[in-house]
Amino acid sequence: MSRKIEAVIFDWAGTTVDYGCFAPVQAFITAFEEYGITPTFDEVREPMGMLKRDHIRTMMNMERIHEEWKRVHGKDFTEEDVEQVYQTSENSILKIVHQFAEPKPCVLETVKYLRDKGIKIGSTTGYTDEMMEIVVPAAAQKGYSPDCWFSPNSVGNFGRPYPYMIFENLKKLEVTAVSAAVKVGDTVADIREGLAAGMLSLGIVEGSSVMGLTEAEYAALSPEEQADRRRKVEEKFLAAGASAVLRNLSELPVYLEGLER
């Protein structure tokens, strides 16, 4: 059955800006190191896309980090500890996030396509309002500016996988039905957010947090290695229930045209 798409709801870091989603990763590592623990990249990236406070709590419940916390601090962690690590990560990312607002490849071209087709552009994020007040104008200076954005702060801090940021977008953009919009993101939390809202939920592979490579690192891989990394990311998105997986945003126009046919 064909459908008319009225809006696309994008994620930010790792989807439209910040190839590889490195700003949050650096902030989380810095925060934990201040408390005597060095998390791995895999540990940091596993909960990526969640509300930042929930992200910290999820990491602190990971078996290795949990045991390391007890070894370093001589006791189990408390909610006060979660809050302190969270606040440290917030302070850290506010210092660096302006450096990570460069639009990813294919973003500006795809945005032009959507504009030309009259498709509205919304966005959700794991960033706070304070972070977005830095990122949004920085991205706009580089050519990317969605019609609206909503952070967890705007929905009572019910971040992903709750669908409420998406619903605020649909309301603001005056989308006539949930089925008339699609969600696009680069994390499992993004996929779950879109599904929770009852809409098609797409994963972006290249430059995603799940892949976790810089543009230069990805380009340095052989074609076979690139294909293998893409396959692993695609499998993770599909296991999370993704409606479709796109290699990069250049494939979004063809996907949307397929829906309308």
Instruction: Find, among 166, 163, 181, 188, the residue nearest to 238 by Cα.
Output: 188
pLDDT digits (tens, 9 = 90+) for 212-256: 999 999 999 999 999 999 999 999 999 999 999 999 999 999 999
Q: What does the pLDDT average to over 13-25?
A: 94
Q: Is 2 contained in some domain?
A: no
Distance CA 54, CA 233 (A): 23
- Calculate the average pLDDT of the chain: 95
Distance CA 53, CA 32 (A): 13
- Tell me how many domains the chain contains: 2
- Residues 127, 62, single domain; the answer is no
The whole model's pTM is what? 0.89
pLDDT at 257 over 80: yes
Q: What are phi and psi of 184, to 5 degrees?
A: -130, 125
Amino acid 261: pLDDT: 81
pLDDT at 105 over 90: yes
Pick the last residue of a domain from 80, 98, 116: 98
- Residues 163, 228, single domain; the answer is yes
Q: What does the pLDDT average to over 8-12?
A: 98
Amino acid 1: pLDDT: 58
The strands making up 7-10's β-sheet, listed across from edge to edge, are: 120-123, 7-10, 181-185, 200-204, 244-246
- Residues 234, 138, single domain; the answer is yes
Q: Is 1 contained in some domain?
A: no
pLDDT digits (tens, 9 = 90+) for 43-53: 999 998 888 89
Q: Assign residue 13 the CATH number of its domain.
A: 3.40.50.1000
The alpha-carbon radius of gyration of the chain (Å, integer) is 18
pLDDT digits (tens, 9 = 90+) for 171-213: 999 999 999 999 999 999 999 999 999 999 999 999 999 999 9
The confidence band for 259, taking pLDDT boundaries of 50, 70 and 90, is very high
- Residues 132, 196, single domain; the answer is yes
- Residues 61, 160, single domain; the answer is no
Distance CA 32, CA 34 (A): 5
Distance CA 29, CA 43 (A): 10
Residues 139, 145: contact at Cβ < 8 Å? yes
Alpha helices (H) in the chain, listed in sequence order: 23-33, 41-45, 52-60, 63-73, 79-96, 107-117, 129-141, 164-173, 188-196, 215-220, 223-239, 252-260
Percent of the chain, pLDDT > 90? 93
Pick the last residue of a domain from 73, 98, 123: 98
Amino acid 2: pLDDT: 67
Q: Is the dihedral of CA 71, 73, 75, 79 positive or negative?
A: negative
> Which residues are marked as active site?
11, 52
The confidence band for 88, taking pLDDT boundaries of 50, 70 and 90, is very high
